[in-house]
Each structure stands twice: as structure tokens, then as C-alpha cells.
Chain A
Amino acid sequence: MIPELGHYSLILAFFFAIVQGTLPLIGVWRNNKRLANLAVPAARTQFLFIAIAFLSLEYAFYTDDFSVLYVASTSNSHLPLMYKLAALWGGHEGSMLLWVSILGLWTMAVTLFAKALPDSFRIRLIAVMGMVSMGFLAFIIFTSSPFERLIPAALDGRDLNPLLQDPGMVFHPPVLYMGYVGFSVAFAFAIAALLDGKLDITWARWTRPWTTVAWVFLTLGIAFGSKWAYYELGWGGWWFWDAVENASFMPWLVGTALIHSLAVTEKRDAFKVWTVLLSICAFSLSLLGTFLVRSGVLTSVHAFATDPRRGVFILLYLVVVIGGALLLFALRAPKVGLGEKFDVVSRESMLLANNVVLAAAAGSVLLGTMYPLLMDALGAGKISVGPPYFDAVFVAIMAPGLFLMGLGPLAKWKKASLPEIGTRLRVAAVISVVSAVLVPFVMGKITLMLVVGVFMGIWVTSTTLILLRNRIVARQDTTPNLVDNLKGIPLAFYGMLLAHLGIGVFVLGVTLVKGYESEQDLRMDKNDVAKIGNLDFKFDGVAKIQGPNYESAQGTFTVTSNGKEMAVLHPEKRFYPVQGSVMTEADIKPGLVKDLYISLGEPLEEGAWSVRIYIKPFVQWIWAGAILMALGGFCALADKRYRIRNKKTDQDLKAGEPQEAHEAYSA
């Protein structure tokens, strides 16, 4: 009964989405208040019905209702409760339901928090989101209903893929979806502005916080996923350039460009057309990612069952949404105007360069992801484009971007002078060059990549710190007390600092772990000791352990350094009987300077095991960097200038003192 209720709610939600997506637009166009005012109640009712559908499905998982096909294929009665509930998004149908639920959540948030917007604009915004939702609901109802019955019911479920039975599964997908579905708000803002024909500073100011929230979620979601892959997949990699990863990374790159471009539109009334295009692209890439993953045109380790009917449906949807948006853009953008002019050397031009770099990076990832498909479509066979391509191209494109990151925030708006920037950055340049030579020298291995990587990491970090110092010095005359001085600096400025520091920390992490990681593949008998550097890894044997829905062989390793115990690690080899699959659970001792990472290979004769031991220096910095970036986003959001813009700063802007008063833009 409950699943039918869920199914029925979903259909009702679809009808409300149609109302939300069409009538209010007609209302605004025809100046019919009654129709226009349907937007908010329709959106809220739609969300209510989606929520009922979502909870009905969760209820089916909770009660082990194996007469529901989807539950029977992704859950099992022995599955721990946490994973039963998370199994909702463990397959195709449920992931789509999660997608549309999160879209509903965002729409709800818009109806609640976007009150300051002019009515007609707000109504258009909500209507555009309704249209997006309409297509997705139709997709679920017609091609991928999670409520389909299985008669007679299965005795037990086929279980959630053991790879997904991890706390990461509980948090990673919702957070990630919050991120890329969140770009639908920026998309709707852009479409509403194009319909409106008006695109000004206020528009950018409204869009910024929504974009930043989505970006923060996406950053955290991607970081979560990468961390999960690191400890779950058992070979210590943290990024695989898999199609699904790329699908989330492309919107991130474009979203990052968008955040910077929005800053310019807000502060300087420039980059307007570009900002709109980026808003459309960020969400389009989210949708394209969904298509690539769900339609099965690309083989991916994350992909679920493929069905060409679904592919055709999503593609049609893409054509309508993205094609429609781009057509509207082509028709309306010429009216928007390009905005204020600026000098070749200015913060605007640096940010433009930043945007070009980020867009090019996203383009190269898109090309790499689509290339196998292009080749196939051109009749050149199925091929795989892997890390060798991505590593080389991506690094080459991003390196100049990182260099500019150091210069940009120090340049003045409108017109800056290169010698002046040069003087300001002398110290940073010296520190970076010295570290780039010294660090590899001390670590005992020098490669070009290490030198460049360390230079970039330290460059970004040190220029960011110099930025803070300059800010403090500039304010010293008026506020000599250091604490007051620091307090007086806007939060948005701190946000930018944190996010940029995050990039620096991330780059250092990637460089050092790539350059200095060491790996050993060994055969170990009980009580054998493996020596790596000054560390001794002693194998204390393997014990059998019974988990809730698996059996496990758990190894024990004692790690000592010069006789002092550093860690005891318990890597496992688990067997999940329902799916008959074996999982490797690595155990990791994380550290600021290095991670010790052990995973069990295969059992060999006489109690010996093949064992893999990795030492991963600075790998945690990768995720620490991502967290700093997200924190930066939070800081920027907390800045009160996002909500109530006080008049004084507006005057400052006109008085032409941009450097001091308007240095702050979010990450």
C-alpha cells in the first residue's frame, strides 16, 4: 500500500511541477496576478509530494519490503539499518528520486529565502525550476519508477553492492547532489534574467550566495567521494578520472569560474554575458554528467544497468533544457551588453584569465570524457582515455592558472600596474623558488613535476598570506590594535583567503604524495617483519571475524619505528555471501606528514598472505585543502554584505577606492 502511495504522490508532484513550470510564466507575461501567484504554492505542494514519495520508499527499505523490485535488488534483510536507508540511492531509480528530491529542496529554499527579489523575477525563477523538475519527474515516472512491484515477492533482497556498504555511501551522494543540483538555482537565475532582459549588479548580488552554497556542497561532495575511494578501493588512489568523477568535477570547475565571474559582475558590472553563459554551463554540465552516467553511453565503474530508452529520454530532456537555454541566450544576450571596460593589466583581466583557464580545464576534462564516445560514433572503435591524458593536459592547463592566482587578488580593479604587483610579490617569489629547490633536495628526489608543484603550492600559499598582511598594514593607521584590525576585515575577504589557501594546501598534497609515495608488494608469513625506511611492519597473523552480513579475515600489523610502537593496523579481506563478492578493506593510519596504508592481498599457502604496504606522504593535505576551500565558501556566505548591502560601501565603490573596500570576493 505504502509504495503505491509513494508512486501516486510522485505523479501528483509531476502535475504540480507542470503547474509551477507553466502557468506562472504566462501570468507574468500576461500580467495576470492570479496565475503568477500560483508559483510559490505549487512549488511547495510539489515538494510535499516528492517528500511523501521519498519517505514511502525509505519506509519500504526500512521494513524490508521485498515485494518492491527496487528494494529487492538493492537491499537485504541482514544489511545494517544505516545502509538499508542509504540503499535508496544505491541504484539508478533511487538515485533519480534523490536527484529530484534535492531539486525540490532547493526550490523550497528559494520560495522561503529569496523574498527580497522583485515579484516577477522571483516567479520566473521558481517557474524555471519547476520546468527542470517536470522533466526529471516524467523521466522517473515513465522510465525508472522505483516503486514497481515484484510479484511474487523475493524471499530476500540481492543486497547492496558491498563496495557501497560504507559510511561514505550515507553522506557522499546527498552532499554531492546538493552541489550539482544546486547549480540549477544559478541556472534559473540566468534564465529568469534573460527572460527579464535585465542583468545588473543587483542580479549578481542575488545569485552569488546561492551559487556559493551549491559550490560548497559540491566541493565537500567531491572531497568525500575521493576520500572514500582512497580507503575503500584498497589501492590507495584518490582520483581516477572516471566518467562519474568527471561528471561532478566539470560543474565544479565551471562553478568555480562562475563564482569569480559573478564577483566581477557584482563589483564592476562587467563580464555580464559571460557570467550568464557560465551559469547555464555549470548546470548543463551537471545534466550532461547525469546523461553520461545514466544512459550507459560510457562504461564506468559507477554505472548502473543500461537501457537505451532511458538514454533517449534524458537526451531529449537535455536538448529541451540546455538547447532551450542556449537559444534564449543567443536571442537575448546581445541586449544584455558586455558591461564596463577595463585595462589589460587589472584585476578584471586577471579574473578573466582565471575564467578562461578554468573553462579550458573543464573543456579538456569534457573532451577526455567524451572522446571514447566521439571515436565510437565516428566508427573508430571503443577506446578508453585514462589518467595519462588527464594528468598531462589538466596539469598543463592549470599551472598558469595557479600562477595567476597569486597575482590576481593583488591587482587593482580597472587598471593596475605590473611593476607595483611585482614589488608586492617579491617576497612570495623568493620563498616559492627557494622551497621549490629546497624541498625536493631535502626529500632526496628531484623531478620537474616536484619542483613545479612545490613552487605552485608555496606560491599560492605565500601570496595569499601576503594579501592578508597588506590588508592589515593598510588599515594600521586607522585601527592600530591588531585584534580590532583583524575583526574589521570583512568575512568575505577571509573566505577568499581560506579558499585560496585550500588550493595551495591541495596542490602541495598532490605534488608530495605523487612524488614521494612508496609501495611494496610482499609475501608475508606470520611474524615476518617488512622494513620500509625507518619503519618496521610486523605481521601478527590473521583472525576470522563474523560481521553482520559478511565474514572477514582480519590481519594485524604492528608498526614500529626504532622499537617505538607507531600504530596497530587491521586490514581485512571480507566475503559477502549474498552477492558472493570479496572486498578488500584497507586499514590506514592517517597522519599530518604521512599515511600508513596496508591492504591484504590473497591468502597464500601455510598462513602466508600477499600484503601491500603503502606510505603516502601528505595525502591528507588533499582533503584538508578541499575542506579549507569549503570553509572559505562558508565564510563568504556569512558575510553580511551578501544580504544587506550597506550604503557606505556603495559610495566607496563610486569614490574609486576599490582596492581597499572591495578586495573581498568569495573564493
Chain B
Amino acid sequence: MKRTAKFLIPLALFLIAVGFLFKGLFLDPHEVPSPLVGKPAPAFTAPLLSDSGNSFNTADMKGKVWLLNVWASWCVACREEHPVLVAIAKTGIVDTYGLDYKDTDLEAQAVIDENGNPYKQIATDIDGKIGIDYGVYGVPETYVIDKKGIIRYKQIGPITEEAFFSKILPLVKELQK
């Protein structure tokens, strides 16, 4: 009996995978609570994309409601999100700042050149250290940060138009008051 059990392992593993695959067919991106929500956004200073002489500093953001969008050129979901970010930038309601995560300047710049720049500024995080502070475990992720520098909301996965209008926009308006 014990001998046969060993040979069932591949089948068992496969069936587990099937369970996930099946669930995957009916999934939509949705939010999860983050331990960072309600806490101050970790401070950082980082060089700007394609302009490493200048840098982005979270301290300069005091008094302003802003979005921090973590993205990368290698991230496919980010390309899906990109047009939404561009549309958000066009509304002029809130500024989005990019954090280019584990990427090279050249490739990231190519994406921006190709698809337009929705960001006020893009900070770079080549080795992913800032990402660790923010608890990034995948891209894209977006943080809504208030005037005092407190994280109010975290969107995991691409911002969809629906997510923007139903969650982020009302929150931003509220925080801007």
C-alpha cells in the first residue's frame, strides 16, 4: 500500500494545480487589506528615470494627496494598466508618481516613449530596496497617500477604470478636502 501511495503523488499535485486553474478561470482582480494601510508611507529618495542627476523625495510630497504606482517594463499587467493611468493623468485630479521597480532605465523609457507618460515624476528602484519597504510582492501596485504622508489605500494589481471611479477617486476627493 505504501509503495502505491508514492506513485499517486504526481496525480495529487496535478489535481491541486487543476483546482487553482479552475478558480483562475473565474477571477477578477480585487483588493486585499495591507498592513501598511493607515501607517506612514516609508520615506525614500531615489534617482529619477533617465535623469539620475535629479531625485525624487517623499518629503517633498507633504501637503499633497498623491498616488504612488509601482510598475516595470517587464510587467505585462502594467501595460494593461497604462492607458488607465494616462486617462487619470488627463483628468488632472490627482498626480501619479511612478516607482520603476527592478528595471533598466532604457527599457522603462522605451515603454514610456511608446505609450505616453502618465507620471508627474518617475523614481527608480533598480535593486528593489524601496519595494521591500513598501511590501511590494508583485507589480503593479498603487498606493494612495494623503497630505500627511499616510498610506490610505493599496491597490494590488492593475487599476481598472472601475476601481478608479468606485474606490480611488472618492477616497482622493475626500482626502483632498
Contacts and interface: CB of A to CB of B under 8 A. Distances in A.
Interface string A268-284: 00000100010011001
B20 A380 contact: no
A472 interface: no
Given A326-B10, A381-B30, A301 B76 contact: yes
A382 B31 CA distance: 9
A311 B3 CA distance: 35
B14 to A, nearest CB: 6
A490 to B, nearest CB: 35
A319 interface: yes
Interface string A237-251: 100111000000000
Interface in B112-168: 113, 128, 137-141, 156-158
Interface stretch (B21-29, B35-43, B55-63, B83-91): B21-29
Contact of B76 (A235, A242, A295, A297): A242
Residue of B21, B23, B32 most packed against chain A (CB within 10 A): B21
Contact of A383 (B15, B22, B25, B137): B137
Interface string A214-241: 0000000000000000000001010011
Contact of B11 (A291, A295, A323): A323
Contacts of A374: 20
A300 interface: yes
Interface string A375-390: 1110111111111100
B113 A610 contact: yes
B138 A375 contact: yes
A160 B79 CA distance: 21
A334 interface: yes
Contacts of B93: none
A148 interface: no
A82 to B, nearest CB: 27
Contacts of B64: none
Contacts of B74: 240-241, 384, 386-388
Given A284-B14, A383-B77, A383-B141, 4 more contacts: A273-B7, A291-B21, A308-B26, A326-B10
Given A330-B4, A376-B29, A384 B75 contact: yes
Contacts of A281: 10
Nearest to B78: A384
Given A326-B14, A383-B138, A388-B102, A376 B25 contact: no
Given A235-B110, A326-B10, A382 B15 contact: no
A300 to B, nearest CB: 6
A370 B17 contact: yes
B18 A384 contact: no
A372 interface: yes
Contact of A602 (B11, B25, B30, B113): B113
A417 to B, nearest CB: 32
A323 B15 contact: yes
A380 B140 CA distance: 13
Given A242-B76, A334-B7, A382 B29 contact: yes
A217 to B, nearest CB: 26
B25 A315 contact: yes
B109 interface: yes
Contacts of A280: 10
B10 A372 contact: no
A322 interface: yes
Contacts of A329: 7, 10-11
A373 interface: yes
Interface string A351-384: 0000000000000000000101111110111111
B14 A323 contact: yes
Nearest to A284: B14
Contacts of A326: 10-11, 14
Contacts of B22: 312, 315
B128 A388 contact: yes
Contact of B25 (A242, A311, A370): A311
Contact of B32 (A318, A330, A381): A381
A601 interface: yes
DSSP class of B's interface residues: helix, strand, loop or mixed?
helix
B6 to A, nearest CB: 8
A388 B21 CA distance: 24
A281 B5 CA distance: 19
A240 B74 CA distance: 8
Please list the 3 inter-chain residue pairs (A to B) with the smallest Cβ-Cβ separation, ordered nearest first.
A383-B138, A381-B156, A382-B157
A315 B21 CA distance: 8
A299 B80 contact: yes
Nearest to B25: A311
A521 interface: yes
Residue of B14, B22, B26, B77 most packed against chain A (CB within 10 A): B14
Given A277-B10, A318-B18, A373-B20, A381 B76 contact: no
A502 B31 CA distance: 47
A541 B47 CA distance: 34
Contacts of B14: 284, 322-323, 326
Contact of B30 (A240, A301, A379, A521): A379
Interface string A304-324: 000010011001001100110
B142 to A, nearest CB: 11
A114 interface: no
B67 interface: no
B31 A381 contact: yes
B60 to A, nearest CB: 27
A373 B16 CA distance: 13
Contacts of A610: 113
Contact of A376 (B24, B31, B139): B24
Given A315-B18, A330-B8, A381-B29, A519 B139 contact: no
23 contacts: A235-B110, A277-B10, A297-B21, A299-B77, A318-B18, A323-B14, A323-B18, A329-B7, A329-B10, A330-B8, A334-B7, A372-B138, A374-B20, A376-B27, A376-B29, A377-B20, A382-B29, A382-B156, A383-B77, A384-B74, A384-B140, A388-B74, A610-B113
A308 B106 contact: no
Nearest to A310: B25
A333 B3 CA distance: 10
A327 interface: yes
Contacts of A383: 77, 137-141, 156-157
A386 B72 contact: yes
Contacts of B156: 380-383
Contacts of A388: 74, 102, 128
A377 B107 CA distance: 30
Contacts of A521: 50, 106, 109
B3 A334 contact: yes
B25 A297 contact: yes
Residue of A235, A610, A612 most packed against chain B (CB within 10 A): A235
